[in-house]
Amino acid sequence: MARFEGVYVALVTPFTSEYEVDYKRLAELCDWLIQEGVDGLVPSGSLGEYATMTAEERAKVIQTVIAASNGRVPVVVGSAAPSTRQAVEWVQFSKDAGAAGVMALPPINYTPLLHEVFAHYEALNTVGLPIIAYNNPHDYKIDLKPDILARLSKLDNIVGVKEFSGDIRRIQEILATTDLEVMVGVDNLVMEGGLIGATGWIAGVPNALPKEGVELFRLARQGKLQEAQALYRRQLPLFHYDANPQLVQSIKYMMELAGFPVGPTRPPRLPLPEEQYAGIKKAFDYCMGTVSGR
């Protein structure tokens, strides 16, 4: 059985109108998502706007999510940081706070050499907390291809990978060449990933529509293609926004449409042009069945 199985929501961070972290709303969001059936929570990732936070804010976000989960679901913390030392400190902090694991990017500030990638993960590994390596070659300068993951998988605490390359064939290659759990990392490949062996999904749009996302991934993992496809086609126009650089603004707007507003994004992320909001609204209404897709 996979350690991090099912739908893990990469949490947005609620902000007040003055751009202060709204910890009360964050706890409410965690409670609502758990009640809706999600399997895990992932704070302090890019969708959570961790890079805009002070260290004190980020620490309190992590603590708030772990306290709100109250052992009901695992919490996997995003540990990205400019230096390996800082990343190790966030892994240690997460372990001490009671996290079940961390989601860990490779070095993010430049194009690292392979020995630097391995040294980075080796340092994280020493903390003793389960690690989901995060492969995102679109936003960062390294692609954790299956041969690299096979070597990383020899580290005791690297147990999985969030696969965000966009190449669905990667899931099969990783499963064939490593013993890692594979978690779908981009929403618009979730059905395909579930059908071919991914055991988890680190999800964005389910911040707004958790029940629908959980049901879709369950059906895909069970191989119920016809039932899964019916849900997938409805949700897919929204899922495309998860693969867009403006995913944070888009998903926060979806949450507003879903009746769970979480405030603005922090600059440099600003409100989107009105035509983009109109597109999201159309996709949301189609997902809810209130308008035709034609």
The answer for residues whose C-beta is within 8 angstroms of residue 130's C-beta and 6 or more apart is 3, 4, 100, 101, 102, 157, 159, 160
User: Cα–Cα distance between 53 and 55 in angstroms, integer?
Assistant: 6
Exactly one of 50, 162, 232, 241 is catalytic; which is it?
162
Q: In sequence order, what are the beta bridge partners of 256?
A: none
The answer for residues whose C-beta is within 8 angstroms of residue 54's C-beta and 6 or more apart is none
Contact 44, 13 (CB under 8 A): no
Examine the residue annotation and report whether 60 is marked as an active-site residue of this protein: no
Exactly one of 134, 140, 241, 286 is catalytic; which is it?
134
User: Cα–Cα distance between 235 and 284 in angstroms, integer?
Assistant: 8
Contact 194, 156 (CB under 8 A): no
User: Cα–Cα distance between 47 and 259 in angstroms, integer?
Assistant: 19
Examine the residue annotation and report whether 162 is marked as an active-site residue of this protein: yes
Q: Catalytic residue numbers? A: 134, 162
